[in-house]
Amino acid sequence: MRLTALTASLLAATLTCALPVYAEHHHHSTVHSAATAQHTTLQVNNAWSRELPPSAPVGAAFMTIVNPSDQADRLISAHSSIAKVTELHAHIHENDVMRMVKVDTVDIPAHDQLVLAPGGYHIMLIDLQRPLLAGEHLPLTLEFEHAGTLDITVDIKSSDAGTAADHDDHAHH
């Protein structure tokens, strides 16, 4: 990824992200009622998260979002009752170090898919309200620019179960 020049501003955005996320809670419900009428064409497969020690303050959710339609879409936000703050994150390489940055949106091209996986895009769950335990599930609401909101269930896998997204290596375009 060639995001290096943007790093400073993205990191600055990360530090100030908490308030905008709260601000979006209100128009969420509005978008949701619109989306139930206009059924989404997006499909979310293989949504998973990794179990964490009970004291862990943050977790991450991964998945594959398939867009079989002719219209490109864009993931614009996510939220979950399990986390006080939920952010869209990417990983960037900087001076041989991988670090996470907050991103505003992630594109899902038409007839393509977006893969969220360890080391790449993910949904960051910040200030966890309960532990992520293997075998349990967490609720997640995704908000898309065109498809509206989509409620999904994320499987929490044990940390020694390996990654679940091996078949999706051609993730980002």
Contact (CB, 8 A) for 31 and 148: yes
Binding track over 63-102 against Cu ion, x by CB under 5 A: --------------------------x----------x--
The CA distance from 61 to 123, in Å, is 5
Q: Does 50 bind Cu ion (CB under 5 A)?
A: no
In the complex with Cu ion, the residue whose CB is nearer, 15 or 37, is 15
Q: What residues contact 162, with CB distance under 8 A and at least 6 apart?
A: none
Mark the segment that binds Cu ion (CB under 5 A) among 19-27, 28-36, 38-46, 117-125. Answer: 117-125
Q: Does 106 bind Cu ion (CB under 5 A)?
A: no
Q: Which residues of 92-105 are buried (b: 16+ CB within 10 A; e: fewer)?
A: beeeeeeebbbbee
Q: How far is the CB of 29 from Cu ion (least distance, A)?
A: 26
Residues that bind Cu ion (CB under 5 A): 89, 100, 124
